[in-house]
């Protein structure tokens, strides 16, 4: 069995799917590993490191695309590259079936097996494969670092002979994996942290990290069976708006992380709310790529509204590619390990396995 990966479009994606540490694990399963030339050079991993482990480095990407049984990537490949692939090959990655529906349907008709890892079920057995959690964890951390770097005041309270500098007040919108890491990071750096989420189960987690949970009066628990947030009712949205509008008047930094899988991000921070914020405040919107949680978010641009900076990037993890690649590669290996029939040395698409059934694009 042959497994491989080619270099992503560097303008969009700096993470890689197979690290030297993970090569050893694939080899121990009996795989041959194929990578394109200079696969990890942009993050400090040269071809010799891979070759010394037994990886076959090829100059020609076409040869890899034609020959491997399993191709592991991050983003969806271009039409030109997928056209090279043949029947019964397998692609594993973040295939974004909501946006690439037609392209994936055409590949499935070609009898290429497609597994999209963001569709993993939130079950205990899938935790080691959960790319959303591993990557969101880093994104939450980095969003705090980026927003603090653009904030022109000190973060912790400082008592000096010249007077006291008050601690920065931070609001985290959405207390999922990214939000909880953002809370922990902001607290460690000395900020006063508030958080809000539509899932009532988040209250205990927020408070355990030292944050203050903002509760919408008479709120319902808006959580799906799979552990994701679902869309709020109009009544909830109105009450949430009133609470946020008042809270934002005293907040210095807002980290937005609210996403609904497969849908446009909900607009939570409205233009009137931003008008009430203090000049010099920062909003970092992690939901930018799905439309953003604010009325003015622009991807890869800092928007200034009444002195409030609104930031959002297409891929914040491009600023942490080494750490993000390490975690992603481990997630992917654990998925392949579950998919691989070690006795017969072949892929076993067992649709009775919830992990396989939920991630397979049919």
| The predicted structure's pLDDT at residue 36 | 97
Do 109 and 183 sit in the same domain of this protein? no
The average confidence (pLDDT) of the chain is 92
Quote the percentage of the chain above a pLDDT of 70. Answer: 95
Do 92 and 141 sit in the same domain of this protein? no
Give the model confidence (pLDDT) of 266-281 as tens digits.
Answer: 899 999 999 999 999 9
For residue 87, give the CATH number of its domain: 3.40.50.720
Do 157 and 82 sit in the same domain of this protein? no
Do 111 and 180 sit in the same domain of this protein? no
Q: Where are the beta strands (DSSP E) in 83-149?
A: 90-93, 113-116
54: in domain: yes
Residue 82, SS3 per DSSP: helix
Measured between alpha carbons, how far is 192 from 270 in angstroms, rounded to an integer? Answer: 23
Do 99 and 148 sit in the same domain of this protein? no
Measured between alpha carbons, how far is 60 from 207 in angstroms, rounded to an integer? Answer: 53
Kindly list the catalytic residues: 122, 127, 130, 133, 228
Do 93 and 193 sit in the same domain of this protein? no
| The predicted structure's pLDDT at residue 222 | 53
256: in domain: yes
Do 100 and 168 sit in the same domain of this protein? no
User: What residue numbers bound the domain in which 187 lies?
Assistant: 135-318
Quick one: CA dihedral 346, 2, 333, 100, positive or negative? negative
Quick check: 225 pLDDT over 70? no
Give the model confidence (pLDDT) of 60-104 as tens digits.
Answer: 999 999 999 999 999 899 999 999 999 999 999 999 888 888 999
| The predicted structure's pLDDT at residue 259 | 83
φ/ψ of residue 90, rounded to 5: -125, 135
Quick check: 254 pLDDT over 60? yes
Q: Where are the beta strands (DSSP E) in the chain?
A: 2-5, 32-36, 56-58, 70-72, 90-93, 113-116, 158-160, 163-165, 169-173, 192-196, 212-213, 253-256, 282-285, 301-305, 308-312, 340-341, 346-347
Query: Within a 13 Å sphere around the CA of 121, how many CA atoms are in the beta-carbon half?
Result: 11
pTM of structure: 0.89
- Average pLDDT score over residue span 308-325: 96
Do 174 and 195 sit in the same domain of this protein? yes
Do 218 and 314 sit in the same domain of this protein? yes
Instruction: Count structural domains, the chain.
Output: 2
Do 222 and 274 sit in the same domain of this protein? yes
Do 264 and 115 sit in the same domain of this protein? no
- Average pLDDT score over residue span 163-181: 96
What is the length of the chain? 362
Do 182 and 218 sit in the same domain of this protein? yes
126: in domain: no
Quote the percentage of the chain above a pLDDT of 90. Answer: 82
Q: Which residues, 6+ apart, have CB-to-CB distance to 125 below 8 Å?
A: 355
| The predicted structure's pLDDT at residue 183 | 98
pLDDT band at 236 (very low <50, low <70, confident <90, very high): confident
């Amino acid at each position: 069995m042959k497994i491989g990966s080619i270099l992503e479009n560097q303008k969009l994606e700096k993470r890689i799917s197979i690290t030297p540490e993970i090569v050893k694990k694939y080899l121990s399963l009996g795989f041959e590993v194929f990578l394109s030339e200079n696969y990890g050079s942009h993050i400090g991993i040269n071809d010799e490191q891979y070759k010394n482990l037994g990886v076959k480095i090829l100059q020609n990407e076409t040869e890899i695309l034609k020959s491997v049984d399993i191709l592991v990537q991050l983003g969806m490949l271009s039409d030109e590259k997928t056209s090279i692939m043949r029947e019964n090959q397998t692609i594993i990655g973040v295939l974004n079936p909501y946006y690439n529906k037609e392209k994936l349907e055409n590949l499935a008709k070609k009898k290429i097996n497609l597994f999209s890892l963001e569709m993993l079920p939130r079950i205990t057995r899938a935790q080691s494969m959960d790319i959303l959690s591993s990557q969101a964890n880093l994104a939450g951390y980095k969003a705090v670092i980026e927003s603090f770097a653009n904030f022109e005041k000190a973060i912790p309270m400082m008592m000096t002979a010249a007077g006291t500098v008050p601690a920065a007040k931070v609001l985290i919108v959405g207390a999922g994996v990214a939000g909880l890491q953002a809370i922990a990071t902001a607290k460690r750096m000395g900020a006063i942290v508030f958080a809000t989420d539509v899932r009532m189960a988040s209250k205990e987690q927020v408070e355990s990290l030292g944050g203050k949970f903002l509760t919408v009066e008479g709120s319902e628990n808006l959580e799906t069976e799979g552990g994701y947030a679902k869309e709020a009712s109009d009544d909830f949205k109105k009450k949430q708006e009133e609470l946020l509008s008042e809270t934002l008047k005293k907040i210095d930094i807002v980290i937005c992380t609210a996403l609904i899988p497969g849908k446009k991000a909900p607009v939570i921070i409205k233009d009137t709310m931003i008008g009430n914020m203090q000049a010099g405040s920062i909003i970092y919107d992690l939901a930018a790529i799905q439309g953003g949680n604010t009325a003015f978010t622009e991807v890869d641009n800092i928007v200034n509204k009444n002195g409030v900076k609104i930031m959002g990037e297409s891929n914040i993890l491009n600023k942490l590619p080494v750490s993000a690649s390490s975690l992603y590669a481990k997630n992917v290996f654990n998925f392949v390990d579950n998919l691989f029939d070690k006795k017969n040395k072949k892929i076993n698409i067992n649709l009775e396995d919830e992990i396989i059934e939920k991630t397979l694009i049919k």
